[in-house]
Amino acid sequence: MAQEIEIEFKNLLTEEEYQQLVNHFYSSNSTEMIQKNHYFETADFQIKKHHAALRIREKENTYQLTLKQPNPHGPGLLETHADLTSSEAKLSLEGNFVEKEEIEKALNNMGISHTDLKYGGMLQTYRIESNYKDTMIVLDKSEYNGHTDYELELEAHDEAYGLKIFQEILSNHNIPKRKTANKIERFYKTLK
């Protein structure tokens, strides 16, 4: 079980803007991967009501359960992670959600039991990561429920510095700042 604070900035991109940034930032040091996010929620969206999100991320035959919540001590999100075996992930996806102590405790603090959780579906992302000026640039092409979108994420250790670099990238590439919901919000908006 691990916890970390995630400070990131996001901006939806057009396909052309995405390709422009890939062409600019891609190098031999970039990392490419495909990951699948499997989302969980209660029938009445109790996790969302707490501005939180719960997912299993499947990447290169590994599975990690993550609860994202507002950081109670400052900027960013508090992420609580627990590694899962493939059989634990399979059980959870089939409706028998596997309890992990720290995540279960955080859910209980929100008044949510693991027995209330329902599998919502999957979002697949083709991701390119590149280090840039002490930050991580993440370029995502995501597919879910018949939709495809493109996104720039910038991860930083410091909020003010990260915002400065993020704004610099948008300005240098003539990309307008767009209000960008997180992936789980975009995913659930596409469900019928």
**Separation of alpha carbons 42 and 184, rounded Å:** 13
Instruction: Taking residues 42-65, report their average pLDDT.
Output: 95
Tokens 């939180």 locate to 52
Closest to 8 measured CA to CA, from 59, 94, 68: 68
- Report the alpha-carbon angle 74-77-79, nearest 5: 125
pLDDT higher at 2 or 41: 41
- Structure confidence by residue, pLDDT tens digits, 66-91: 999 998 888 888 999 999 999 999 99
Burial of 146: CB neighbours in 10 Å, binned 0-12, 13-18, 19+: exposed
3 state DSSP class of 181: coil
Grouping H, G, I as helix, E, B as strand and the rest as coil, residue 2 is strand
**pLDDT, averaged across the chain:** 94
**The token pair that represents 90 in the structure block:** 């399979």
Q: What is the pTM of this model?
A: 0.89
Are 143 and 123 in contact by the 8 Å Cβ rule? The answer is yes
The model's confidence at residue 2, banded by pLDDT at 50, 70 and 90, is: confident
Residue 151 to residue 73: CA distance in whole angstroms:
27
DSSP assignment of 91-140 equals: HHHTT-PPP-HHHHHHHHHTT--GGGEEEEEEEEEEEEEEEETTEEEEEE
User: Would you say 12 and 147 are in contact if contact means Cβ atoms under 8 Å apart?
Assistant: no
pLDDT higher than 70, residue 37: yes
Contact at 8 Å (CB) between 53 and 182?
yes
pLDDT attached to residue 126: 98
Residue 192 confidence (pLDDT): 61
Say whether pLDDT at 1 is over 80.
no
Q: What is the pLDDT of residues 108-165, one digit of tens each?
A: 999 999 999 999 999 999 999 999 999 999 999 999 999 999 999 999 999 999 999 9
Q: Give the separation between CA 58 and CA 89, rounded to whole angstroms.
A: 9
Buried b (16+ CB within 10 A) or exposed e, 71-101: eeeeebbbbbbbebeeebbeebbeeebbebe
As given in the structure block, the two tokens for residue 21 are 């940034």
